[in-house]
Structure 1
Amino acid sequence: MEDDSSWEALPIERIRIPAFNFRVISEASNGENELPVSLDAAVPDDILEKIFTFLPIASMIRSTAVCKRWHDIIYSSRYLWTHMLPQRPWYFMFTCNETASGYAYDPILHKWYDLELQGIDRSSCFVSSSCGLVCFMDNDNRNIISVSNPISKDWKRLLEPPGAKFPDYSTVAIKVDQVTHNYTVTLAKSKQVPEDYVQWDFSLYKYDSWSSSWVTAVKEVFIGWRGGDDSVICGGVLYCLIQSTGVLGNVEPRHRLIMYDLVAGPSATSLTQSSIPVPCSLTCGRLLNLREKLVMVGGIAKPNRPDIIKGIGIWELDKTQWQEVSRMPHKFFQGFGELDDVFCSGGADDLVYIQSYGATALLGFDMKQRQWKWSAKCPVSKKFPLQLFTGFCFEPRLDITT
């Protein structure tokens, strides 16, 4: 099932080893002493910038350790980061409920790097990423939210958001503006109305990095529906999956998609009234932003058994209609388990990652080529039969700061 291609686990510090051994070039003149000239000094900054644009991100990180000049060019050149060749997103895999460290997979060089996350104490958290930044929300205290750049190790703890301190369900999402590098974080909280099994309080809060403050975007009472734990910002719109509580009878499908325009603000129509049903009965769903297109990876439920997963599918939202992209072939689906929520997923650009919670294997799907393929094996050790693993996708960058 898995690709047997070799992997190499490298600590992140190894990436920073100088990548090249420079030769000294010189010109002889009538037998006089040769004056060594550095090749680096002979190359102007603009030529170096163009050369760096052809490097994979891991090689670029190593280049920052060559000299101060290269370090400054790579970290400060706007030309480099706007003209560099397309970089494929990395996937970070770690063990649940342990320290916030694990392995990051580079799909270009097919290598795993030992990487420790900054700004969080442990890996039990909700995660969202955008354009090189990753947002973490602590699983035990949903008001502890931080933003981090895993590559540069720059991070920031956000101000405590408003609203209920202990919601029953919550989800966080982040979106980076690639022009200004400002970012928006959204936090959706869902809490059951006391002594009422039908009504759920839903509230949405928005954080803007330029103002470093939270604002309340919307508050609404859901009847027969509750908020979930998956959301994404795409095209200026926040998308959240909500789930039927089942108290008003059988609802098929159990999930729906609510939308909130972060630019235009609230509308006269309630979130549930304008919601979109998912394409089929799902056990769970993962929302992804792929080139500002909303993509969902969903666990397909068995007929009349919404708690049993029989396959995994990928859909893309076209306005208000879902278009099926692909379904995971059975040979890849074997080993994902049967009960309900059994996988995590992430993606960026044209690449989707899917990982079983019970295994260290990483499956990739190329949206352009419509191709499924196992990635190189992850070196995370599996100590116990029921040990769980999780992960998330992020775009490796050095120029994005928190």
Structure 2
Amino acid sequence: MALNDDNPSSLTNRKRKFEEKDSCILSNFSMEELNQDVLERILSWLPTSTFFRLTSVCKRWKSVAASESFKLACSGIPSRDPWFFMVDPQLNRMVVFDSAEKTWKRLNHPPLLQKSSNYSSMPVAASGGLICFRNLSGDLILCNPVSGSCSQVPLLDSPLQSQPLHAIVMNNHSHNNNKLTLAFGEFPKLSFKVYNSITNSWEEEIELHQFKDENSITDNEDNAVYFLSKAGNVVATNMQRSPCKQYSSVITNQNGEEIVYFLSSTGKVVACNLNTKSFFEYPRLLPVFCEYSIDVVECRGKMLVVLLSEFFESASLRVWWYDEVTRAWRQVAAMPPAMSHAWYGKKVDINCVGAGDQILICLNSAELFSYVVCDLVSNEWVDLPKCCVDGKSVDFMSAFSFEPRIEAIV
């Protein structure tokens, strides 16, 4: 009598045999059997932190880590979880926070940044897998913090170096196409200049004309911002930012128009449209006597403002977005009062950086320091763990967000 293929016991036995066969094949499979191209494609999907360990696995993996074809495979990965390059007051540490693994990592100083003339080089901009440093002489250096490769940007003309510099932004079009944009000049005479990495040269200087909104309300400027002291007195001071954030600025691309945003000396947000060659000053979020500390960030192509203010004996930290249609500021997120109140009366300086839907905020005062990540989608606020060196917590002034890409070319 013929066997019935639909018999349940027969099907079970057949399935078991197939599983045993597949298990036998997998147990005998070795990564060494993969050809070089497939191996490189598989390894390119590993987290960037594992790249540092490839060279110690075996000779073949060591050769993969050094091959140009492997870097090309890495460039095909759409995106990587950001790393935050942290800046300490002495500018002598290369420390990053890995947002994927939620851990701190130390990087080696690139040789070009170790030279005596560049010892005090500080980061001023970041995009893609690169960070731009600026030294005391005003020289600009592009660096890939992961690979350690660096290159110096050609010097600007002497007349330009003597003008006040307001913003330094970098945008990355591909792994080998980077642009630096500088905004400088005395208000209201502003101009910008762009460095193109493909031609390794600066483009012609472009002057900006001021755009004034007739419907906006102008406020009297006295080149000072005001904050409330712990005793409740109104204190006036010129706006001073941490040295590495004095050029705090972001760039967005809206409908094909590139716009650079930075903070003026009085704390107002200035928008420079590189396509229309014009600039515009946004209205204040709060009256000058309420502003305490402010910064601009870019998230998902939008410019956002983070503001820490004091009112009614409490501190409030909020994220704002400017609605171009209604010409008004809209609140996006707010730190829970239980967290923000701890900073009341501390004369806090906030320095922020955006990464996708997140904002990393460095809060610094003479008494306290903390690093908080805000998720704009869930409105969750999380304190990062402290970074400890030799048993002591390290105080960082600010951070720059970049994608850890070994293939990024300077």
**TM-score with structure 2 setting the length:** 0.69
Partner amino acid for 1:325? V
Please name the residue that 1:327 is paired with.
334
2:161 is the alignment partner of 1:172: no
Please name the residue that 1:95 is paired with.
88
**Residues of 2 paired with 1:217 and 1:225: CA distance?**
28
Secondary structure (helix, strand or coil) at the match of 1:70 reads helix
TM-superposed CA distance for 1:128, in Å, is 1.1
In 1, are the aligned partners of 2:71 and 2:406 still within 8 Å (CA)? Answer: no
Distance change (3 Å), C-alpha of 1:378 and 1:216: same
Partner amino acid for 1:114? R
Please name the residue that 1:353 is paired with.
360
Q: Deviations over 1:202-224 (max 9, x none)?
A: 33221111122223122568996
TM-superposed CA distance for 1:399, in Å, is 1.1
**Residues of 1 paired with 2:123 and 2:409: CA distance?**
20
Partner amino acid for 2:72? R
2:410 is the alignment partner of 1:392: no
Please name the residue that 1:371 is paired with.
380
Distance change (3 Å), C-alpha of 1:83 and 1:225: farther
Q: Deviations over 1:26-81 (max 9, x none)?
A: 99xxxxxxxxx993330134543453354222123322554344214686353443
Secondary structure (helix, strand or coil) at the match of 1:62 reads helix
Alignment counterpart, residue 107 of structure 1, candidates 94, 99, 110: 99
Q: Deviations over 1:93-120 (max 9, x none)?
A: 2421342x24211122121111244343
Alignment counterpart, residue 311 of structure 1, candidates 305, 313, 316: 316
In 1, are the aligned partners of 2:299 and 2:356 still within 8 Å (CA)? Answer: yes
How is 1:221-260 mapped onto 2 (pairs within 5 angstroms)?
A: 229-235=247-253, 236-243=257-264, 255-260=268-273
Partner amino acid for 1:106? D
How is 1:132-281 mapped onto 2 (pairs within 5 angstroms)?
A: 132-138=129-135, 140-141=136-137, 143-162=138-157, 163-178=159-174, 181-191=176-186, 201-214=189-202, 215-219=204-208, 229-235=247-253, 236-243=257-264, 255-261=268-274, 264-266=275-277, 270-271=278-279, 274-281=280-287
TM-superposed CA distance for 1:170, in Å, is 2.8
TM-superposed CA distance for 1:317, in Å, is 4.5
Please name the residue that 2:295 is paired with.
286
Secondary structure (helix, strand or coil) at the match of 1:377 reads coil
**Residues of 1 paired with 2:193 and 2:346: CA distance?**
32
**Residues of 2 paired with 1:154 and 1:43: CA distance?**
30
- Larger relative helix fraction: 2
**Residues of 2 paired with 1:309 and 1:145: CA distance?**
41
2:304 is the alignment partner of 1:295: yes
Partner amino acid for 1:216? E
Secondary structure (helix, strand or coil) at the match of 2:264 reads strand
TM-superposed CA distance for 1:186, in Å, is 1.0
In 2, are the aligned partners of 1:291 and 1:349 still within 8 Å (CA)? Answer: yes
TM-superposed CA distance for 1:151, in Å, is 0.5
Q: Percent identity?
A: 21
The two structures, once aligned, show a CA RMSD in angstroms of 3.7
Distance change (3 Å), C-alpha of 1:116 and 1:71: closer
Distance change (3 Å), C-alpha of 1:319 and 1:208: farther
Secondary structure (helix, strand or coil) at the match of 2:207 reads strand
In 2, are the aligned partners of 1:60 and 1:74 still within 8 Å (CA)? Answer: no
Distance change (3 Å), C-alpha of 1:93 and 1:164: same
In 1, are the aligned partners of 2:364 and 2:370 still within 8 Å (CA)? Answer: no
What runs of 5+ residues in structure 1 fail to find an aligned partner? Answer: 1-25, 28-36, 192-198, 246-253
**Residues of 2 paired with 1:75 and 1:295: CA distance?**
39
In 2, are the aligned partners of 1:202 and 1:219 still within 8 Å (CA)? Answer: yes
Secondary structure (helix, strand or coil) at the match of 1:295 reads strand
In 1, are the aligned partners of 2:54 and 2:62 still within 8 Å (CA)? Answer: no
Secondary structure (helix, strand or coil) at the match of 1:362 reads strand
Q: Deviations over 1:231-263 (max 9, x none)?
A: 111115232234375xxxxxxxx51332222xx
In 2, are the aligned partners of 1:348 and 1:395 still within 8 Å (CA)? Answer: no
In 2, are the aligned partners of 1:336 and 1:342 still within 8 Å (CA)? Answer: no
In 2, are the aligned partners of 1:75 and 1:398 still within 8 Å (CA)? Answer: no
Distance change (3 Å), C-alpha of 1:225 and 1:189: farther
Distance change (3 Å), C-alpha of 1:79 and 1:327: same
Secondary structure (helix, strand or coil) at the match of 1:58 reads helix
Q: State the structure with more CA Rg.
A: 2
**Residues of 1 paired with 2:70 and 2:402: CA distance?**
21
**Residues of 1 paired with 2:82 and 2:133: CA distance?**
18
What runs of 5+ residues in structure 2 fail to find an aligned partner? Answer: 1-23, 212-219, 224-238, 240-245
In 1, are the aligned partners of 2:168 and 2:181 still within 8 Å (CA)? Answer: yes
**Residues of 1 paired with 2:385 and 2:178: CA distance?**
32
Please name the residue that 1:71 is paired with.
65
In 1, are the aligned partners of 2:64 and 2:70 still within 8 Å (CA)? Answer: no
In 2, are the aligned partners of 1:200 and 1:225 still within 8 Å (CA)? Answer: no
